[in-house]
Amino acid sequence: MIGIAVGAASWPVGRPDLLHAFFSTISGCLEPDGWGSRFPALLGELYQGRLTADRVDDALAELLVARRELAALPPSAVVWDIDDLDVTPPWGSAIDSGVPDLARYFITSDGRDLVAVLANGLSFLRELGVGDLQVVSVEDATVALVG
């Protein structure tokens, strides 16, 4: 299991393939010129495991654009693995009828909207003004989860 962390604060995400699928969907659906071409802070830095405080405004802006554009796409357009387009979600094509679009498709292991969790982490980093947001294994997330 993985999560995101800013200093001692952390938020769970869940299985690594969920986070990979989220970024795969952004790139596969919204970046016709390839991985990180439109969303370099998210896909070029955060996806690699670390985003520094000086890039937080860019990442937040990219996340808002991605959320807005994903909201216009049906859940069936999900890209589970950009490196192997034949890979499907663990649940196959059985999508909950309560999931109206790709912006609300990705849910963390504790039932939260992944986009909101990423936004919370990025906003927390912005408030701190120093440090970075990291993708961590759950074992590395040693402090209680925050908002």
Question: What 3 state SS string does the chain have?
Answer: CEEEEECCEEEEEECHHHHHHHHHHHHHHHCCCCCCCCCHHHHHHHCCCEEEHHHHHHHHHHHHHHHHHHCCCCHHHCCCCCCCCCCCCCCCCCCCCCCCCHHHCCECCCCCEHHHHHHHHHHHHHHHCCCEEEEEEHHHCCCCECC
* pTM, 2 dp: 0.90
* Tens-digit pLDDT profile for residues 22-42: 999 999 999 999 999 999 999
Beta partners for residue 52, in sequence order: 132
* Tens-digit pLDDT profile for residues 125-136: 999 999 999 999
pLDDT number for residue 142: 44
- Residue ranges per structural domain of the chain: 2-140
* Tens-digit pLDDT profile for residues 50-89: 999 999 999 999 999 999 999 999 999 999 999 998 898 8
Tell me which amino acid residue 46 is. L
pLDDT number for residue 119: 97
